[in-house]
Amino acid sequence: MDVFTREHGMVGVLAKGALRGKKTQAGLLQPFLPLSISWRGRSDLPLLIAVEARGSAPRLAGRALYCGFYLNELLYYLLHRHDPHPGVFELYESTLLTLLSDQPIESVLRNFELSLLEQMGYGLALEHESDNGAPLESGRHYHYIIEHGARPATQAGKHTYRGSTLLALAAGTVSGAEERAEAKHLMRRIINHYLAGRVLKSRDLFKYAYGRPSS
């Protein structure tokens, strides 16, 4: 079982016998449920020896549930094992609760993705040109070079983004169908870059259920 912990980061543990006779423990080993756990052993797969709930799981359903699975997959693939990220842990907990709110789900996901990349050291430069530091202009179009930044484009194209979209993404104020589409396109490119070819099953689940991926 893979668990995301505040002090130790992503950890794999062996929950021996959890599904055989230990009904209480088996019921606690569920996605999204905050737990207090302890394990024993120094191997890459130590033995889980104690688990208890430290709160209730957010009641995610529908689109929010699939988005929760998406968050889990991002953490699983992007974080290194045994590398603590307390800030990411708190971001994850707060985002799960925000998925229950009336905030637009795409805005919640964009904010999570941006914050996750920032705390991993891959923050995006969305307010200034990469080459000369000039402020982005709302009315101009830009290319976004991953791990480099924004560069002016001579004309709009498939892989260009309006300055207004990049600035809104940085400020967390993306609104309108065109801005949302551009922000989603950019963040998917960047997330895919760091996934390095790994496929997210949650995208397929969401597409199967709703006809299009959420992220």
Q: How confident is the model at residue 203 (pLDDT cuts 50, 70, 90)?
A: confident
* Per-residue pLDDT reduced to its tens digit, 91-100: 999 999 999 9
What region, left, alpha or beta, does residue 132 occupy, with left being phi > 0 and alpha being psi -120 to 50 degrees? alpha
The kind and range of the H/E element at 96 are helix 86-98
Q: How confident is the model at residue 20 (pLDDT cuts 50, 70, 90)?
A: low
pTM beyond 0.85: the answer is yes
**pLDDT of 90 higher than 90:** yes
Class level of CATH domain 59-215: mainly alpha
What's the distance, CA 176 to chain centroid? 22
Distance, in Å, from the CA atom of 165 to the CA atom of 179, rounded to the nearest integer, reads: 5
Instruction: Delimit the domains of the chain by residue range.
Output: 1-57, 59-215
Q: Considering the domain 1-57 in this protein, what is its CATH number?
A: 2.40.50.140
CB 119 within 8 A of CB 85: yes
Backbone angles phi, psi at 12, to 5 degrees: -100, 130
- pLDDT for residue 206: 79
CB 75 within 8 A of CB 6: no
Burial class (CB in 10 A: 0-12, 13-18, 19+), 77: middle
Distance, in Å, from the CA atom of 75 to the CA atom of 80, rounded to the nearest integer, reads: 9
